[in-house]
A and B are shown apart, each in its own frame.
Chain A
Amino acid sequence: MNTLDTFNCNSLPRRFLLASATALALLGSSAHAADKLPVIASFSILGDLVRVVGGDRVAVTTLVGANEDAHVFEARPADAKTLLASKLVVTNGLGFEPWAGKLIKSAGYKGETVVASKGVKARHMQDEKGHSGHAHEDTDPHAWQNPNNVALYARNIAAGLSKVDASGAAIYQANAEAYAKELQALDVWAKEQIATIPAAKRKVITSHDAFGYFSAQYGVTFLAPQGVNTETEPSAKQVAQLIKQIQREKIRAVFVENMSNPKLIAQLSKDAGANLGASLYADALSASDQPGATYLQMMRHNVTQLVAGMKNN
C-alpha cells in the first residue's frame, strides 16, 4: 500500500517535470545535458535496469510499480499521459505485458520502444495438464530470473537509449557492460550457493511458477499449485497431488512470492507439514525498505532464502 502511495506522490511532480522537460526539448530542438531523458519501463525490474544503464541521464517511470502484479495491470489515464511525455518505452516482451501494445496505441505514442528480452532464448512453460485455458501463447516471459538473460536486457536497453540519445551512447554501453560483469558475479555466486545443497534436495514449492529460467540455470525444481497465471483457480486434484508430492519427496521448503494470495499455499504447507519461508520476489521488486529493492538485491535475497529453505529438505 505504502509503495503505491509514494509512487503516486513521487510521480506527480515528476510528471510535471517530464512535461516541462519535453516542452523545453521541443522549444530548444536539442536536449540539453541538464534535461533528463524521460523513459517508461513496463514494470519495476525493467525500471531498475533502465536506471542502472541510463544512470543520471535518464528519468525512469514504471507503469507497474514495486510489489504489484503485471498480469492484472489496468492502465489509468495518468499512465497514458506519462507515456506520451516519454521518449522511450521499455517492455519485457514474450507476452508478459499483453496490455502494453494496446496502451501504446490508444495513447497515440509514436516514439521509440525497446523489447528488452529481444534475443533471449525463450523457454516454454512446462505446462502440466489442466491449465489448457489460457489465451496467450505459452512462452515463459520471466526471462530475468536468469542473470545471463539480464545482461542481454541491459545491452538491449543501452541500444534503445542510444537511439534516442546518441550523445550518451558510449556511457550507456559502458554502464551496460559494467552491469553485465556484476551479473556474471551474481551468477557465479548463486551457483556456489546452490551447490551447497545436494542435487536431490533442490526442490521448492512456490505459489506461481515464475522460476522456469532460474530452474534451468541452477537446477532447482519448482513445484507450483497454481499454474502459470495468478488468476486460475486450482482444482482439488491439483492441491491433493501437490500435498502428496510434498510428503513423498519430503520437501520442507515452501515459499510465497511478493504479490500472490498467500492463504492457499500457507494452508497447504501446514497440511503437508512443511515450513513457510520468507517471500520470494518473482515478478516485481520490493519497496525500497524491503530486501529486494533492486534486481541484484532481489536475486541475492531469493537465492539466500531458497538455500536456507532447501537445507531443511
Chain B
Amino acid sequence: MDALLTPVWDVVFAPFADYAFMRRALVATLALSLSAAPLGVFLTLRRMSLLGDALSHAVLPGVAIGFMVSGLSLTAMALGGVVAGLMVAAFAGLVSRFTTLKEDASLAAIYLVALALGVTLISGHGTQLDLLHILFGSALGVDREGLLLVAGVSSASVLVLAAMYRGLVLETFDPVFLNAHHKRHGSACSKLLSPWVWHQAFLMLVVVNLVAGFQTLGTLMAVGLMMLPAVSARLWHDTLPAQLMNASTQAAVAGTAGLLLSYHFDTPSGPTIIGCAGVLYFLSLLFAPGGWLPRSWTTRHRVA
C-alpha cells in the first residue's frame, strides 16, 4: 500500500503540500478555469475567439496609466486595465452598431490604436525599466492580493453567468428572434432585454476575467486558459452545458498538470500550463467526436 502511495504522493501532492507558492498558483489557475473557460466557449460560439488576444494588448494603456499614478499597486493597475478594456469593447460595439463595419474589424482597429497608445505611454515614462514584465503577473508570483482578485472575480462571474445564462444563450444562438421579440414588445418587456444589453454585459464579464488573469497570472495564461480548453471542448459535445463543463475541466486539468510538470521538469510555469492545454487540444482534434479520426471513420463507412 505504502509502496504504491508514496510515489504518487511525492509526484502529485508533495509539491503543493510543501510550497505555498505552488498552492497559490494552483488556486488562481483553478479559479480562472472555473470562470474564464466557460466564457471562452461563448466567445468561440459567437465567433469572437480572438477577442482575448486583442484585449491583452488593448488593456495596456490603462494598466500603464494605473502604474504611473500609483506605482506597483495591483488595484490601480487592474482598475486601469478594466477601464481600458471596457472602453475598447464598448467603442468596438458602438462602431459596429452605427457604421457598416463589423465588430471584429472595428475591434482590430481600436485595439491596435490602444496598443500604440500603451507602448507610447510606457516608452515616455521609462522604456528601459522592464515595464512589460512588471505590468503583468506570472504564475509563480501570485500573492495574496492577486489571489483575492482572481477568486473574487471568478466567484462573481460564475454567479452573473448563471443569472444571465438564458438571455445570453438566446442572444448567441438566435439573435434575430431576440431582436424581433424585443422590437415587438419594446423596452417595457423586462423579461427579454435588448440584445445590445446582453452583449455588453457579456463583454464586461470577459474583460473583467481577462484583466484579473493578466494581472495575477500573465497575458498568455489568461488568454490561453480562456480560449484553448473552450475550443477543444466544442469538439467533444453538441450541447452547450456539456461544453461549458468540459472546458472548465480541461482548463483545470491543464493547470494542475502544467504546474506539476513545471515543478518536476524545471520548465517555465505559464508556458507549460498552456502547453498542456495545447496537448489536450491536439488530442481532441484527433479523438473527439467532432475530431478527425471519428469523422473520417464514419464518412468512410458512408461511402462504402
| A interface residues with partner B (beta carbon < 8 Å) | 1, 4-5, 64-65, 67-74, 76, 129-130, 230-240, 243, 259-264, 266-268, 271
B72 touches A263 (CB 8 A): yes
A68 adjacent to B128 (CB under 8 Å): yes
A9 CB, nearest partner CB in chain B, Å = 13
Interface of B is mostly: helix
Alpha-carbon distance between A231 and B136 when the two chains are bound, in angstroms = 13
Q: B262 to A237, Cβ gap below 8 A?
A: yes
Q: List 30 A-B contacts (CB under 8 A).
A: A67-B129, A68-B128, A69-B128, A69-B129, A69-B130, A71-B130, A74-B127, A76-B123, A232-B268, A233-B138, A233-B269, A233-B270, A235-B263, A235-B267, A236-B21, A236-B25, A236-B259, A236-B263, A237-B262, A237-B265, A239-B140, A240-B18, A240-B263, A243-B19, A259-B130, A263-B141, A264-B140, A267-B141, A271-B19, A271-B20
- Name A8's closest neighbour in chain B (CB-CB): B124
CB contacts under 8 Å to A, within B71-90, are: 72
Residues of B within 8 A of A (CB): 15, 18-22, 25, 68, 72, 123, 125-130, 133-134, 137-138, 140-143, 259, 262-272
Residues in chain A near residue B129, CB distance under 8 A: 67-69, 259
Q: Which of B25, B68, B130, B141 contacts A231 (CB 8 A)?
A: B130
Chain B: minimal CB distance from A66 (Å): 10
Closest 6 CB pairs of A and B: A68-B128, A233-B268, A264-B141, A236-B263, A237-B266, A236-B262
**A266-B134 Cα distance, complex, nearest whole Å:** 13
Question: Residue of A at shortest CB range from B18?
Answer: A240
Cβ–Cβ contact B268 & A64, under 8 A: no
Known contacts being A233-B268, A240-B19, is A1 close to B126, with CB within 8 Å?
A: yes
Q: Whole-angstrom distance between the alpha carbons of A1 and B268 in the complex?
A: 30
Q: Closest Cβ of chain B: how far from A264's Cβ, in Å?
A: 4
Residue pairs across A and B with CB atoms within 8 Å: the count is: 103
A4 and B20 contact, CB distance less than 8 A: no
B128-A234 in contact (CB<8A): no
Contact across chains for A268 and B130 when beta carbons are under 8 A apart: no
Interface centre among A230, A235, A238 (most CB of B within 10 A): A235
Closest beta carbon of chain A to B144's beta carbon, Å: 9
Instruction: List residues of chain A with CB within 8 A of the CB of B141.
Output: 261, 263-264, 267
Task: Give the nearest-CB partner of B132 in chain A.
Answer: A72
Q: Give the distance in Å from the alpha carbon of A262 to the alpha carbon of B264 in the complex.
A: 25
Known: A236-B262, A237-B263. A231 touches B128 (CB 8 A): no
* Chain B: CB-nearest residue to A65: B128
B128 touches A72 (CB 8 A): yes
CB distance from A254 to the nearest CB of B (A): 14
Please give, as numbers and ranges, the residues of chain B lying within 8 Å of A5 by CB-CB distance: 125
B15 lies within 8 A of A240 (CB): yes
Q: How far is the CB of A40 from chain B (nearest CB, A)?
A: 15
A262, B263: Cβ atoms under 8 Å? no
B147 to chain A, nearest CB (A): 11
Contacts A233-B269, A263-B72 given; indicate if A271 touches B125 (C-beta within 8 A): no
**Nearest Cβ in chain A — how far from B137, in angstroms?**
7
Could you say which residues of chain B place their CB within 8 Å of the CB of A64? 128
